[in-house]
Amino acid sequence: MIKKGDTVYVRTGSSRGQTGRVLRVDRKKNKILIEGVNQCKKHQRPSQKQPQGGIVTIEMPVHMSNVALVVQTDEGPRPTRIKKKTIDEGGHKVKVRVSCLTGEQL
Predicted model pTM: 0.80
Domains, the chain, in order of start with CATH, read: 7-79 (2.30.30.30)
pLDDT score at 75: 87
Alpha-carbon gap, residue 64 to 70, rounded angstroms: 14
B/e letters for 3-12, b = 16+ CB within 10 Å, e = fewer, are eeebbbbbee
Tens-level pLDDT at each residue, the chain (106 residues): 899 999 999 999 888 999 999 999 999 999 999 999 999 999 999 999 889 889 999 999 999 999 999 998 888 899 999 899 998 888 889 999 999 888 888 8
Q: Indicate the SS3 state at residue 64.
A: helix
Query: 58, exposed or middle or buried, with CB in 10 Å at 0-12, 13-18, 19+?
Result: exposed
Q: How far is CA 96 from the centre of its chain?
A: 18
